Amino acid sequence: MQATVTHAATVAADTAERHDWTTDEAEALLGQPFTDLLFAAQTAHRARFDPNRIQLSTLLSIKTGGCPEDCGYCSQSAHHDTQLGRERLLSLDAVLAAARSARAAGATRFCMGAAWRNPTDKNLDSVLAMVEGVKDLGLETCVTLGMLTAAQARRLADAGLDFYNHNLDTSPEFYGQVISSRTYQDRLETLEHVRAAGLKTCSGGILGMGEGRRDRASMLCQLANLPAHPESVPINLLVQVEGTPLFGSELLDPFELVRTIAAARVMMPGAYVRLSAGRDDMSDELQALCFLAGANSVFYGERLLTTANAGSERDLALFARLGLAFETADLPDRDAPGACHRHPPSAPTAAG
Ligand code: SAM
Ligand code: DTB
Ligand code: SF4
């Protein structure tokens, strides 16, 4: 057993879950001296998690492009001229082949994204078959399909879906500057349906869209003040896609990313905080700081949805250099090397 667990008792009192955060409080947290903030985040992290272990999720875009929504960051919106084609929903076979590859590479969760405002009930039939098939491979499942009705959320839960991803993206105050085709309230309502159906919630946001620190504080409050903290909180750094309105946005100070991850860890101590989009452009050192700040999950694989991700070779080398193990799926049919449930089959040695 790791030292983290024994340390837990001494700091548990500091890391009780709260749902009454104010934006002023969150902004003060974000603005703490950097080392104080990181110490608070490490303390919270070690009370609940093994700090030397991360979770790996692999993404697949099952329906790309042509989305009717106008999200200012997104390559897939039909409102933007991004050179991205509109594709049909992938076949079940294609999805399962991608899921098998993700599993072989060491991922424990397979996340499927669709460029829909919301799924039709017919769309959902196809996605349910994908969820069932991926689950049968021994992987956790996550889908992100846009807005859901309560009944659709229940159907997904009945099919055995583990997580539903639906990001708040930014603060309620800044939201209208990024998206006009739906409201913040729409997002909150889908999250309510997801929770009511008994699905685990994956919800976070995007940094570097021109928002201020107070917006980041406000977004974290929205997430932390939900009736239950999301089990998974993806923190994306904007991937600037040519042709989108946010292309050319001023680059975020990387320390603001680290601060936001640290504050997310303090405010939602039991959540997996995922260092999500944007890693391809990050240095190893910046990523290491994010892990120190409490990030304990990443998207793993060559691609995100439509853009490049940090590749698995680079990731495995980085994890080995940092002594980070990662969670492995509980797979009875898995080859022996993965059976240690600690390290991937082909992780290079730390000295490499
Ligand atoms: N259409 C569904 C929706 O918006 O809910 C699901 C797919 S959408 C691509 C999922 C999430 O990806 C968005 O909510 C946003 O947070 C993130 N995302 C999309 N484009 C991004 C970009 N260029 N950079 C960073 N994150 C991005
Ligand atoms: C999330 O928070 N980030 C992922 C996932 N949830 C669906 C998507 C990132 C997309 C990055 C841009 C792209 O590849 O299109
Ligand atoms: Fe459509 Fe989702 Fe992209 Fe918005 S983020 S344009 S809803 S795919």
Which ligand sits nearest to residue 186's alpha carbon? 1
Q: What would the pLDDT profile of 131-171 be if each residue is shown by its tens digit?
A: 999 999 999 999 999 999 999 999 999 999 999 999 999 99
End-to-end CA distance of the chain: 26
76 CB within 6 A, ligand 3: yes
pLDDT the model gives residue 43: 98
Facing residues of 142 across strands?
111, 163
Q: What would the pLDDT profile of 45-82 be if each residue is shown by its tens digit?
A: 999 999 999 999 999 999 999 999 999 999 999 999 99
| Secondary structure of residue 120 in the 3-state scheme | coil
Using the structure block, give the residue that is written with the tokens 């659709």.
152
Q: For residue 108, how far is its CA from the centre of ligand 2 (angstroms)?
A: 17
Q: For residue 49, how far is its CA from the centre of ligand 3 (angstroms)?
A: 32
Interacting residues of 11 by C-beta distance below 8 A, sequence separation 6+: 43, 44, 46, 47
Q: What would the pLDDT profile of 84-112 be if each residue is shown by its tens digit?
A: 889 999 999 999 999 999 999 999 999 99
pLDDT of residue 333 exceeding 60, the answer is no
Tokens of 298: 């990443």
- CA torsion sign for 98, 104, 105, 106 is positive
Q: What would the pLDDT profile of 297-308 be if each residue is shown by its tens digit?
A: 999 999 999 999
Q: What would the pLDDT profile of 265-295 be if each residue is shown by its tens digit?
A: 999 999 999 999 999 999 999 999 999 999 9
143 CB within 6 A, ligand 3: no
Which is the catalytic residue, given 48, 182, 202, 221? 202
Q: Which residues line ligand 1 (CB under 6 A)?
A: 67, 73-74, 113, 115-116, 144, 146, 166-167, 169, 206, 236, 238-239, 241, 277, 305
Facing residues of 299 across strands?
57
| Residue 221: active-site member | no
pLDDT the model gives residue 14: 53
Interacting residues of 295 by C-beta distance below 8 A, sequence separation 6+: 54, 235, 261, 265, 273, 274, 275
| Residue 67: active-site member | yes
Which ligand 3 atom sits closest to the C-alpha of 117? 7
Interacting residues of 287 by C-beta distance below 8 A, sequence separation 6+: 275, 279, 310, 318
Q: For residue 333, how far is its CA from the centre of ligand 1 (angstroms)?
A: 33
